Chain A
Amino acid sequence: KAGVTQTPRYLIKTRGQQVTLSCSPISGHRSVSWYQQTPGQGLQFLFEYFSETQRNKGNFPGRFSGRQFSNSRSEMNVSTLELGDSALYLCASSRGILKTEAFFGQGTRLTVV
């Protein structure tokens, strides 16, 4: 059974640009969550999608957005990139709404220069 796949693995962007990250969950999983990990703030919840609907969003500015497609694949977008957006972005999938067990992808390492 394939795990959670995140693409790309590494990304370098310039301040002011926008970026789109992709996540393919485990087959059969309908919930996808996104997390940002930085040395200073640790792991922080960005948002969760279930059946194409955003169920909740963490405390991040509106520059961070996402969506989920009918096949459960999800994308997150960050517009007007700032240096502080440099981080490891992790996607997790789970079977249902409640976080009984989340399976994480390897992450996308975003560097903003």
Chain B
Amino acid sequence: SQQGEEDPQALSIQEGENATMNCSYKTSINNLQWYRQNSGRGLVHLILIRSNEREKHSGRLRVTLDTSKKSSSLLITASRAADTASYFCATDAQSGGGADGLTFGKGTHLIIQP
């Protein structure tokens, strides 16, 4: 079953604008990760935020986590054409102790218009 649900399903913005994607999940987690996937290829790890963290930055990426609302957001600032990809959130459920694997949402397809 899908733990994380990304919103929106698709997002198209102009180059240079900021892109915000949201993820909601259902159970308590150890951490939440964001991944990027280009055209049906492998996933690239972007950033991990632990359940006791509220915000994390990495270059042009900013991730927030609200465990009370079971939600996270990924902000990409000053978007570039190369950011065009699908973005997935993945959770490591607390109850599974890591044994259940990562649970992925269905992803947000981001298109950056030049």
Report which A residues bind B (CB closer than 8 A).
4, 33, 35, 37, 42-48, 55-56, 58, 88, 90, 92, 97-107, 109
Contacts and interface: CB of A to CB of B under 8 A. Distances in A.
B103 A107 contact: no
Interface residues of B, number: 27
Given A42-B2, A56-B96, A99-B31, A104 B42 contact: yes
Given A35-B101, A42-B2, A56-B101, A106 B107 contact: no
Nearest to A3: B42
27 contacts: A33-B101, A33-B102, A35-B102, A35-B104, A42-B104, A43-B88, A45-B100, A45-B101, A45-B102, A47-B101, A48-B101, A55-B99, A56-B99, A58-B100, A90-B42, A97-B97, A97-B98, A97-B99, A98-B92, A99-B98, A99-B101, A99-B102, A101-B33, A102-B45, A103-B45, A104-B35, A106-B42
A61 to B, nearest CB: 16
B61 interface: no
B102 A98 contact: no
Given A42-B2, A56-B99, A101 B45 contact: yes
A56 B96 CA distance: 10
B92 A43 contact: no
Contacts of B99: 48, 55-56, 97
Contacts of B35: 104
Main secondary structure of the interface of A (DSSP, over half): strand
Contacts of A99: 30-31, 33, 90, 92, 98, 101-102
Contact of A58 (B31, B48, B101): B101
